[in-house]
Amino acid sequence: MTTTATALPATGTGTGTPPSAPARPGPPPTGPSRTAIPPSTPGPADAPSSTPVPAGVSSSGAGPVDASSSGTAPSRVRRVGAPSPGPARRTVGAEAGGSPRGGRGGRPVPGAVSRRGPLPAGAEAAYDVVVVGAGVVGCAVARALARHPLRVALVDAADDVGEGTSKANTAILHTGFDASPGTLEAGLVRTGHRLLTAYAAETGIPVEPVGALLVAWDEEQRAALPGLAAKAARNGHRATRLLGPDELRHREPRLGPGALGALSVPGESVICPWSTPLAYASQAVLNGTDLHLGCRVTSVGTPGPGAPHRLTTTRGTLTARHLVNACGLYADRFDALLGVADSTVTPRRGQLLVHGRAARDLVRHILLPVPGPLGKGVLVAPTVYGNVLVGPTAEDLDDRTATGTTADGLAGLRERGARIVPGLADEEVTAVYAGLRAATGREDYRCAAHPALRYVTVGGIRSTGLSASLALAEHVLGLLAECGLRAGPERPLAPVRMPDPRAARPDRDPARRAVVCHCEHVTRGALLAALASPVPPAGPGGLRRRTRAGAGDCQGTHCGAAVRALLEEHGKDGRR
């Protein structure tokens, strides 16, 4: 992986850190009982994996640890001997073994997941690395760090993981065929596609490799296709193929009139965008990472060279020897807390609409527009849950909270969708949503190591963050090493298995088999399982993203009240 890590010097000293401060780990922070020590008795599972960096993501851990942990009774996996938990502190239920912290023989002690109440104090609040931002990138970084004997916390202002850009995107796992060759993004998307494809198979994240067709609707677009194929080749994607109008019609029979040809891009896939950060976060938590939600960082203080950062949050104070900024839309504002002013985020809104399952047969591939002067344009794509998605718009805004849809935006998508696939005009709209992408005015990611600050910013992920997430995480580990993080030996991660909302559940209890959401066939058992999962939902939206309850054609008209009642009765801290 050849990337262009830009280790920019800190451009400000607002926090009082001398820019020339040595980037070496100092003595342990406050408290004598810092637990960030390598396991005293590394078992065989702790041996470094035989393959280099990225392989650790998908293959180093699953086999042996899975096998060894299968004999671990879940009830034995408890935080033993830990300081008494705070009011909001809770040890998550665990399904696997292997611990970075004091675990014996590679059995993990899960981290804490909390949403409210004061943060842990003293040594419990002292971390080697704090990752700020629990979107798909932050969760992936936390998961990558969990392979090492480090005390790691993942914090987010929202009350669930993936609550920002990560929950409202086009749900596509890109190959990176159309990236600008030689950019950081091009390399990371390409690697990330491979890693996430393997990881999804391993963890059960729904993925469908339907492939993409870049459809040319006029001569100018058709003339651009060979150039796009050449660009794809420069990005290492040589399997693209030009299709004439007849073959295109054969492969995509419901396409609207006027399509002149297409570039076929095998490997472009659709993926569940919600299970992905959730799988990362769950695996990080199961392997010892603390997840603090509802925890907005309001200031960062660095007392002196070598001393840890002091993060003041809405829930209390944390210290971190190293910091990762994965704040997405707020990456520039978090940078500012450390006196860094590299870039400004301009939110780019993408509105999308989703058709019901009845429309699924109308579309076989991801139908991409040929990029033009006005950006990437509107795509039509199936989803792993059998919907058809149309979008996104691209509107540059100032308001970082403007996740609303607009009448013009939706009407435009309706019209564009019907032009690409006319049958969509007769289909009901099941859902509409809008997401904000973190554009920075530069057509590449902005990943920067600030060794003097022991601080890494992973920003400008205005698109493709889901696709690149696992490769980005490895890249960030490299940047952290530049900042002096000594991660210690790598050990396999205890595996996670995500429940597939599409699959029938094996519940034997008839009460758990009762269907609550009829549109999506979600049973009471599936809802209860999600509410009891390592990273449980905070509200009906989170429950919907985990189980599909309320995501169907009636949008919760039928099940909304029943789902809410379950959340109130069984949710850990479900009231928002």
Partner 1 sequence: MNGPEPTERAVDVLVVGAGPAGLAAAARLAAAGAGRVEVLERDAAPGGLPRLCPGTGFGADARGRPLDGPGHARRAVGAAVRAGAALRTGVSATGWAAPLLLEVTAPTGPETVRARAVVLATGARERSRAARLLPGTRAEGVFTTGGLLRTLEVFGPRPERIGRRAVVLGDDPAARHAVRLLRGAGVAVAAVVCPGPRAAVGAVGAPVLAETAVTELTGRGRLASVVVRGPDGRSRTLACDTLVLTGDWVAEHDVARAAGLPLAPGGRGPVADGALRTTAPGVFAAGGLLGGGGPAVRAAAEGRAAAGAVLAFLAGRASGAAQGPPVVAAGALARVRPDLLGPEPGPLLVRAGRVLVRPVLTVAQDGRVLRRDRLPAALLPWRPLRLGPEWTRGADPDGGPVEVGADDGCGDGGRAETATDPAGGPVEAGAKG
- Positions in the binding site for partner 1 (CB under 8 A): 353-354, 358, 401, 403-407, 409-411, 414, 428-433, 502-504, 506, 510-511, 513-515, 518-519, 521, 540-541, 553-558, 560-562, 564-565, 576
Structure tokens at 459: 């920003």
CA–CA dist 172, 49 (Å, integer): 30
DSSP 442: S
| Pairing status of strand 152-155 against strand 126-132 | parallel
CB of 326 to partner 1, least distance (A): 23
Angle between helices 136-145 and 465-482 (to 10 degrees): 50
Structure tokens at 137: 């990138």
Neighbours of 46 (CB within 10 A): 19
Nearer CB in complex with partner 1: 341/561 = 561
Nearer CB in complex with partner 1: 88/353 = 353
CB of 298 to partner 1, least distance (A): 19
**Distance, first Cα to last Cα, the chain:** 42
Structure tokens at 88: 């909001």
The runs of H, that is alpha helices, within 260-362 are: 275-286, 331-337
CB of 363 to partner 1, least distance (A): 17
Nearer CB in complex with partner 1: 250/502 = 502
Q: What's the one-letter identity of residue 237? A: H
CB of 550 to partner 1, least distance (A): 10
Q: Residue 2 contacts by C-beta under 8 Å, 6 or more apart in sequence?
A: 187
Please tell me the number of Cα atoms within 13 Å of 420 on its side-chain side.
Answer: 29
Nearer CB in complex with partner 1: 246/428 = 428
Nearer CB in complex with partner 1: 251/419 = 419
Nearer CB in complex with partner 1: 396/509 = 509
Nearer CB in complex with partner 1: 450/524 = 524
Are 128 and 484 spatial neighbours (Cβ–Cβ below 8 Å)? Answer: no
Are 436 and 349 spatial neighbours (Cβ–Cβ below 8 Å)? Answer: yes
Please tell me the number of Cα atoms within 13 Å of 170 on its side-chain side.
Answer: 27
CB of 117 to partner 1, least distance (A): 20
CB of 243 to partner 1, least distance (A): 30
CB of 258 to partner 1, least distance (A): 25
